[in-house]
Amino acid sequence: MLRVLLAALSLCIAAGAGAQAPVDAGPKAAPKAAVKPAAKKAATAKAPVRPTWAELSADQQQILAPLKDDWSNLEVERRKKWLGIAKRYPNLKPEEQARVQRRMQVWAKLTPEQRRQARESYKSIAKDKDRHGDLREHWAEYQALPPEERQSLVPSEKKRR
Amino acid sequence: MNETNETNFGNRVRLVLNQGLRLNAKQAERLHSARERALAARRPEPVGALAWADNVLGSFGGWGGLSMRLVMPLVALTLSVAALYTWQQNRVIADFEEIDSMLLTDDLPIDAYLDRGFQNWLKTRAAEE
């Protein structure tokens, strides 16, 4: 009996580990052609994802204002994440707050794959931050390179795999 | 039928019943074989699954034992899995919140982190220095 319970528990842990993807699965919009009328009906009949925009506090609405139009399309996990970011917001410096406001909409509109790539790159660059020096300067220098040179630096799909 | 006749009829019936049924050997044999045929033709009762379920239930010590040995652990397991799943989801959300906050406030624009050429260029530079 104990062995059966342990086996079931380990299966569930494995399933839980594999359940990370839905947290940032991206926009709910599936390929339109694949949505059958019945499924559409069921989707519209579902209870609204909470919290809705109207349920946010005035402060939260003010901080997350750039996301207002997209809020109804965000999954519950992404809403939770944004509420967490809104909670940190008052502790940021004014210039950081301005950056968050500017980037919020851009970030929310990225595809899940782009967000994944940006996070991975951030981790990778942050790891060697001391080695790299002033990143803003490097970015400006890189952008000043001729387009064909910058293009040649992009690793090919084959290489990356 | 008056009261005396009724009493007489009742007494005669009682006498016959008390004497029992007198059957000869042939009649007894026919009745016996008819009974055997009826028994053989009787449909078997669907006791297989019930008997199995009863045995399983019995092996767990009846309904009380079943709830203690099987249902309670399963309920506990389900609750544990639900708690584990929630914890895992919250952890993933917290991780994304942390890294996304940093990305949104970072000195470099988001485009820099989406540009694979820039990362390659940074690595090459760092290796050269």
Among candidates A145, A66, A36, which has minimal Cα distance to B121?
Answer: A145
CA–CA gap between residue B84 and residue B80 (Å, rounded): 6
Question: Inter-axis angle of helices A94-109 and B72-105, to 10 degrees?
Answer: 120
* Mean pLDDT of chain A, nearest integer: 79
Q: What is the pLDDT of residue B2?
A: 75
pLDDT number for residue A129: 79
**Single-letter amino acid, residue B72:** M
Residues within 8 A of A (CB atoms), B 71-110 only: 73, 77, 80-81, 84-85, 88-89, 92-94, 96-97, 99-110
pLDDT higher than 80, residue A40 = no
A131 contacts B85? CB cut-off 8 A: no
**Binary contact (A103, B112; C-beta < 8 A):** no
**pLDDT: which is higher, B101 or A156:** B101
pLDDT winner (highest mean) among A26-40, A84-98, B56-70? A84-98
Whole-angstrom Cα distance, residue A6 to residue A18?
A: 18
**How many Cβ atoms are within 10 Å of B77's Cβ, its own excluded?**
16
Q: Output the CA–CA distances (angstroms, integers) from residue A57 to A7, A72, A79, in the order listed.
A: 45, 16, 14
Q: Is the ipTM of this complex over 0.85?
A: no
- Is the pLDDT reported for residue A46 higher than 90? no
Q: Which of A68, A81, A127, A133 is nearest to B104 (CA)?
A: A81
Q: Which of residues 50-79 of A touch B (CB under 8 A)?
A: 77
Percent of chain A whose predicted confidence (pLDDT) is above 70: 68
CA distance B91 to chain A (A): 10
> For B5-52, how does the pLDDT look when each residue is reduced to its tens digit (9 = 90+)?
889 999 988 888 888 777 888 988 999 999 999 988 886 666 677 778
The first and second tokens of residue B32, run together, are 């016996």
Is the CB of residue A13 less than 8 Å away from at least one CB of chain B? yes
Q: Which residue of B has its CA nearest to A77?
A: B93
Instruction: Give me B41's structure tokens.
Output: 């033709």
Facing A100 at nearest CB: one of B89, B104, B108: B104
**At A11, is the pLDDT very low, low, confident or very high (cuts 50, 70, 90)?**
low
**Per-position DSSP letters for chain A, written without gaps between them:** -HHHHHHHHHHHHHHHHGGGGGGG---S---GGG--HHHHHHHHHSPPPSS-GGGS-HHHHHHTGGGTTTGGGS-HHHHHHHHHHHHHGGGS-HHHHHHHHHHHHHHHHS-HHHHHHHHHHHHHHHHTHHHH--HHHHHHHHHTS-HHHHHHHSPPHHHH-
Report pLDDT for A7. Answer: 56
B113 vs A104: CB contact, 8 Å cut-off? no
What pLDDT is attached to residue A31?
43
Taking the model in full, what pTM does it have?
A: 0.61
Condensed to tens digits (0 to 9), the pLDDT of residues A95-152 reads 999 999 999 999 999 999 999 999 999 999 988 877 778 899 999 999 999 999 999 9
Residues of B in contact with A121 (CB under 8 A): 113-114, 116, 119
